Structure 1
Amino acid sequence: MWTSDTPFSHEGKYYRFEDNVSNVRPLQKPHIPVFFSGSSDAAVEVGARTADTYMLWAESLAGTREQLDRIRAAEARFERANPLRFSLSVRPIIAPTEAEAWAKAEDILGKARALQAKSAQAFGIGRRERPGQPQNVGSIRLLETAAKGRVVDKRLWTEIAQLTGASGNSTALVGTPEQVAESLLDYYDLGIDTILIRGFDPLRDAIAYGRELIPLVRAEVARRDAEAAGKSPLQAARA
């Protein structure tokens, strides 16, 4: 439907239509890039075959490497027009000093605990009635990472994932902009192509990321790419 210039029909398990054509088509060619996520075996098979970019939550570096190897092995079984790209989702917590960043993290954790307790009280949820082990493989993997400690690798903070049952993008990188940029680049070195970041205070964090974190990451990625391509720092800066 994104690519056909003439009407076509389809009859499948989930969709059926006759002589359909769309006058609205994406700017990107041949179609809008497909971003996909999932850690189950079934998800890996579908994503490796159909996605343009495979999205991962921030696990430990070792866990991320394992995921990348697993997905690439599945990708090799399919004939693809372009290699699969990879995206990492994480929640940076940055401040001028490392101590201030960790103070922010502790404040976020305290507020999250208070909110969870308030919600449980409002809905009459007791400790024994709270949800148990999540069913999705991605959350299970994040909880396995959290079980290794409150901080994994250099500065991957896991306590929010532990508190929430890893119900979403819930691991964080805590430190100064320079420290968090360094950790993001560790994932880049593993093969991560794009990074999806969001904060716990969306507007203020977005401003801080744009001013203090993203420029550091982009500059270092450009330097490393130029070095790999045999370019000089001046050529990298112009690029």
Structure 2
Amino acid sequence: MSAIEFIGITATQPVSETGAASGAAAAVSTQSETGSPTGAVIQPAYLKALATAHEEAGFDRVLVAHSSASPDGFTVADQVLTHTERLGVLLAHRPGFVAPTLAARKFATLDAFHPGRVALHVITGGDDADQARDGDLSDKPTRYRRTDEFLQIVRRTWESAEPFSHEGEFYTVKGALSGVRPAAAIPVYFGGASADAVRVGGRHADVYAFWGEPLAGIAERIAQVRAAAAPWGRDPRFSVSLRPIPAATEAEAWRRAEEILRLTKERSGELRRHFNLDHSAQHGSQRLLEYADQAEVHDKRLWTAIAKATGAAGNSTALVGSYEQVAESLLDYTALGVSTLLIRGFDPLADARDYGELVRLVRAGAAEAAEAAEAAEPVGAGRP
């Protein structure tokens, strides 16, 4: 895998948040990819096309997201992996609904069929109502304590060649031993902006994920997580989630951005009813709204208007500009220490195809920066 990891998004049916494709992808957008989700919830051909588009564009993984209404993520992930050759999955999983020993075996089994292509994205759950739809009535602090214990057992299940037992606040396990364990460690991705999230994620995360905040905010978050990880001897990597709106020229990109904003405002209520999610209590969403109140554009081209219009419903800040300008801004995040870029647009299939140019430009820029840093290093530096 390359030094910069790109993660996209997958879906089992055509869906667009605005009906507006970005960049050159506008030419290949289909009629079915406008407005709310279209057709049957499970459309195998669409899922295959979306996975293939990401692989051809140079992405490393696609996120298999989760909600109380979502199709089973393990099945979706297996379909993505089966229909591609090298593309990996970042499979979201909410602790609390599947026993940790069983969850560990499910991930290890998927990894055994597709070695090295599976990663776990831990979703503790920031929406009380959505948790309750699946029968979980616990509050957020309780959920984070449960996640902490869940991940302790998952890792032991993956790693232990001998039976083990565990007795804790949420789980009791006696003589657990899995017949399938990953040959190489399955990476654990983790997100959350609250103090509880940082505490638990610092202990367990291989990759800690942030929403697309301004550069200063990301630098602050990186420092917080590193401080929380240090007592556990961990050195996590970092991910930022953004919504690029690139075009051939900056002016064209801003025209597209304004059209996306117009359509978003028109359809935000409809989309909220469809997805039935409330992000208002999430610290990460609250931080995005604070940045949106401060300015519509931060740094060079981080655009917060979509976050403001949607109530910061998840990944909702955009980078607007020419392909070269957006790539430059993505590289600004990597210069802070970010190694994973989760990018998705507003029309999944069209944007996945379009983002191949961004992936190419960022990889080339990162390679140039690495060569320049190596050339600038004093002779003999780092040697005993």
TM range (shorter): 0.7 to 0.9
User: Where do residues 127-142 of structure 1 align in structure 2 (5 Å cutoff)?
Assistant: 134-142=280-288
Q: What is the number of equivalent residue pairs in this alignment? A: 218
Say what the alpha-carbon RMSD is for the aligned residues.
Answer: 2.1
Which of 26, 30, 42 lines up with 2:182 in the alignment?
Answer: 26
Deviations 1:98-120 (A, max 9, x none): 11111111121111111125568
1:106 alignment partner AA = E
TM-score, with length taken from structure 2: 0.54
User: Where do residues 1-239 of structure 1 align in structure 2 (5 Å cutoff)?
Assistant: 1-28=157-184, 31-76=185-230, 78-80=231-233, 82-118=234-270, 134-210=280-356, 212-230=357-375
Offset at 1:226?
2.0
C-alpha contact 2:226 2:235 (8 A) present in aligned 1: no
TM-score, with length taken from structure 1: 0.84
Deviations 1:137-189 (A, max 9, x none): 11111011111222111111111100111120000101111000000111111
How many angstroms apart in 2 are the aligned matches of 1:52 and 1:119? Answer: 33
1:187 alignment partner AA = Y
User: CA 1:136/1:225 → structure 2, altered by over 3 Å: closer, same or farther?
Assistant: same
Identity of aligned residues (%): 53
Q: Which shows bigger deviation, 67-76 or 83-92?
A: 67-76
How many angstroms apart in 2 are the aligned matches of 1:34 and 1:40? Answer: 18
How many angstroms apart in 2 are the aligned matches of 1:146 and 1:223? Answer: 33
1:115 alignment partner AA = R
How many angstroms apart in 1 are the aligned matches of 2:203 and 2:346? Answer: 34
C-alpha contact 2:190 2:205 (8 A) present in aligned 1: yes
Give unpaired runs (5+ residues) of structure 2: 1-156, 377-384
2:349 alignment partner AA = L
Give unpaired runs (5+ residues) of structure 1: 124-130, 232-239
User: CA 1:119/1:134 → structure 2, altered by over 3 Å: closer, same or farther?
Assistant: closer
How many angstroms apart in 2 are the aligned matches of 1:60 and 1:116? Answer: 24
How many angstroms apart in 1 are the aligned matches of 2:220 and 2:238? Answer: 13
RCO higher in structure (CA 8 A, sep ≥6): 2
Deviations 1:26-63 (A, max 9, x none): 242xx211111111111111111211111011111111
